[in-house]
Structure 1
Amino acid sequence: MIPSSNSCHESINVVVLGAIILEQLYVLEQLSFAHLIEIISEYDDQISIDYVILTCDWLYIINAIDYNSDGVIINAA
């Protein structure tokens, strides 16, 4: 179910957060999870780590990102 526009704040939308994460990964090529939290905090310091984890899970499920021992990377596929 997609929430209506008046019941969901833009900053906690996984699509918006996913776009921020992917944009940073495109520039930096790799992010540690700690650096990822810092980037999201700069965007909006009220976003909880739960939303960041949910967004990373969503990006992983749709095959947009991958994890390695050093952190999060854009999926090469």
Structure 2
Amino acid sequence: MPRKNKTTGFFREIAQAPTTAQERTDAAVRLIRETEAEKRADLTASLRAARIARDGRGTEAGPVSGTAKPRV
């Protein structure tokens, strides 16, 4: 049974470059997705920090907005 990881030689932590067109495409897509996910995470963190600073809540928990009224 062939190995799942595509490493050869003595230094097994160094992976081989993708060889087929499909593998190269997959590697490019994976790289693009990872960089876009990092950008979104950074933007989300900065917007969250700005919103907390604007509201002046800091680390304390404020009232939850949008709570439903109890049904009678």
Give your verdict on TM over 0.5: no
Larger strand percent: 1
Computing the radius of gyration from Cα coordinates, the structure with the larger value is 2
Q: TM-score, normalised by structure 1?
A: 0.28
Higher RCO by CA contacts (8 Å cutoff, separation 6 or greater) = 1
Larger helix percent: 1
